[in-house]
Chain A
């Protein structure tokens, strides 16, 4: 049996994310550890239909998933994602290239209605057919943002001083994408 190996070649065609075998998550320092959460719903498309390969993604902010109902409610509130006013998190690439064996994607990330440039780095696999016969690739990306750039400013001082929640947030996207029939 062979599996697709990581490579940096940007594939041609149009590819849609498989939500079951993909994951969109975040990690942020909490007191002394790392707190992780994810988003249950999202969609991503990698496509060269415009003549230039582009990656676009959309995430309903209210699909944020953490292990506590009250915390989830707080994340949906105006102090964090403010989902009634700004229901969507979005990414649109502005450039995709291969660099030192990695894929490097420049783009614009919109959170809470604020759009900022980001650079995501990672790996893209070669394609292989899945059990259903459809061609699949994987795209693993990571970037780091300062949540204050997007108006997510919440903080609480610790009993002995210092901050409860870090400001640097690592965003991790692990996509399995299925080739769309031409």
Chain B
């Protein structure tokens, strides 16, 4: 089973990318966690460009989601909301409805911020947008506040309770992926 991990932050030393890397040691084998590295290259959504497989950046995103059994998204919070490039990616992955990459796909959302709230609003908005795209979104959230102090030098979550909650999120996502028969392309 493959879980595609998408960080909503483009920054090299992103806390949210770190949060995804921390998941790698928490998923049970043989689950494979692959971190998507092409978010910055996803073109701005334009319906005029959305024909066939789409432009190269969006196509790579769509193919990565389609080839995964589940998706784990880590999101920062910008101005109390979802980062634009992450929302843009969800928009590409949401079209066309019922034949889109996210349709029926199990999705979990986590988030980290340097403030105390751990991007809870942004997580809620990512869950809403993913669910509206037809994804099968788990409701459990994982807010990681004070993210600049949240990780050990070797990249693990320092707080054992938080790590345990992360395991619960990942277990729920994997259980959902095992339970769901993902649809193949549905005729419009």
Contact = CB atoms under 8 A, between A and B. Distances in A.
A and B bound? Answer: yes
Interface of A: 69-70, 73-74, 76-79, 84-85, 154, 156
Interface in B127-152: 128, 131-137
A85 B105 CA distance: 12
B52 interface: no
A77 B103 contact: yes
> B-side binding surface: helix, strand, loop or mixed?
loop
14 contacts: A73-B98, A73-B134, A74-B132, A74-B134, A77-B133, A77-B134, A77-B135, A78-B131, A78-B134, A78-B135, A78-B137, A84-B183, A85-B180, A154-B131
Nearest to B96: A73
Interface in B63-105: 97-98, 103-104
Given A77-B103, A84-B104, A84-B183, A69 B135 contact: no
A70 B129 CA distance: 13
A73 B104 CA distance: 12
A70 B183 contact: no
A77 B181 CA distance: 14
Contacts of A74: 132, 134
B104 A78 contact: yes
Contact of B136 (A76, A78, A154): A78
Nearest to A76: B98
Contacts of B128: 156
Nearest to B183: A84
Contacts of B134: 73-74, 76-78
Nearest to B139: A153
Contacts of B136: 78
B93 to A, nearest CB: 13
Contacts of A85: 104, 180-181
Interface in B164-188: 180-181, 183, 186
Top 4 A-B residue pairs of the complex, sorted by shortest distance between their CB atoms: A73-B97, A77-B134, A84-B183, A78-B136
A76 B136 CA distance: 12
Nearest to B106: A78
Given A78-B131, A78-B136, A85-B104, 4 more contacts: A73-B97, A77-B103, A79-B131, A84-B186
A77 B180 contact: no
B72 to A, nearest CB: 17
Nearest to A78: B136
A6 to B, nearest CB: 41
B131 A77 contact: yes
A79 B183 contact: no
